[in-house]
Amino acid sequence: MCLIVFAWRAHATLPLVVAANRDEWRDRPAERAAWWSNPPILAGRDLKAGGTWMGLTRQGRFAAVTNFRDPADKRSTARSRGGLVTEFLESGAPAIEFANGLRPRSSDYNGFNLILGDGKSLVYFGSREAVAREIEPGVHGLSNHVLDEPWPKVLRGREVMQAALHDEDPAPGLFNLLSDTEGAPDERLPATGVGLDWERRLASPLITGDDYGTRASTVVTIDDRGEVFFEERTRGSDGSAGGVSQ
């Protein structure tokens, strides 16, 4: 995942609303969202390492991961970050307990950000901070830095989410956000060590390209009765939406 915008307890009847784009190399094999694992989780599946980037369970557990962008700190021997999502979803541990347990082993992975929900609380753990903390109610955004880092697409995403919460159905507005290819002025771009050309390319919510880009766009809502809406749209190299999983 490279953009996750979410509203936590910011809507009268929807405790959790999530809009997310998964950005990845095109040649990394993956399956569309489906029910798998034991106990079952609804998620896409990384066929290279076996984990996932975002998923949920029938009991209302939710998890998602993004990488922390730092090309100077990347190890080919590191464990797959997607395994953390699967591990939490398959466990019965409270979110804060699971996150606290990550601190002594977070260095086994390349830099990451993890959002964990157990239905009662939503927790953030970033490997750079290595401190678990409960997320305050409100609208938040996460890309490839720490939670709510004010990158242009994070700020834009939070604005769109705030507006979408006033719609009867927030999904259309959120999918519009996830389809947005507008970048940002150079002076507003972060400097993460990948060079200006890549910073420009990665600045928009939706990233296109034959080699790397947005592979899937997903909107999730969980209402106050525990009912879930989940829709994933796969993306082609030109950004066009393909198959839909619900």
What are the tens digits of pLDDT across the range 152-199? 999 999 999 999 999 999 999 999 999 999 999 999 999 999 999 999
Average pLDDT over residues 10-36: 97
Please write the tens of the pLDDT for every residue from 46-85. 999 999 999 999 999 999 999 999 998 889 999 999 999 9
Computed on alpha carbons and rounded to an integer, the radius of gyration of the chain in Å comes to 17
- 10 located within any domain: yes
Q: What is the CATH number of the domain that holds 166?
A: 3.60.60.10
Asked if pLDDT for residue 139 goes beyond 70, the answer is yes
234 falls within a domain: yes
Q: Answer whether residue 246 is part of any domain.
A: no
**Which pLDDT belongs to residue 245?**
73
Structural domain contains residue 199: yes
Q: Is residue 55, in this structure, part of any structural domain at all?
A: yes
pLDDT higher than threshold 70 for residue 1: no
Residue 51: what pLDDT?
A: 94
Angle between helix axes 171-178 and 152-164 (nearest 10 degrees) is: 160
Helix, strand, coil percentages, rounded to 5, for the chain: 20, 35, 45
pLDDT at 73: 86
How many domains is the chain built from?
Answer: 1
Confidence at residue 244, expressed as pLDDT on a 0 to 100 scale: 74
Confidence of residue 242 (pLDDT cuts 50, 70, 90): confident
Average pLDDT (101-113) is 96
- Residue 138 maps to a domain: yes
pLDDT of residue 7: 98
Whether residue 102 is contained in a domain is answered as yes
Other Cβ atoms less than 10 A from the Cβ of 97: the count is 13
The pLDDT of residue 243 is above 90:
no
Strands 122-126 and 112-117, bridge-based pairing: antiparallel
Residue 109, domain member (yes or no):
yes
User: What is the residue-averaged pLDDT of the chain?
Assistant: 96
> Is the CB of residue 221 less than 8 Å from the CB of residue 14?
yes
Write out the two tokens for 217. 């766009």
Instruction: Show the domain range for 59.
Output: 3-241
In the block, residue with structure tokens 């990384």: 46
Confidence of residue 246 (pLDDT cuts 50, 70, 90): low
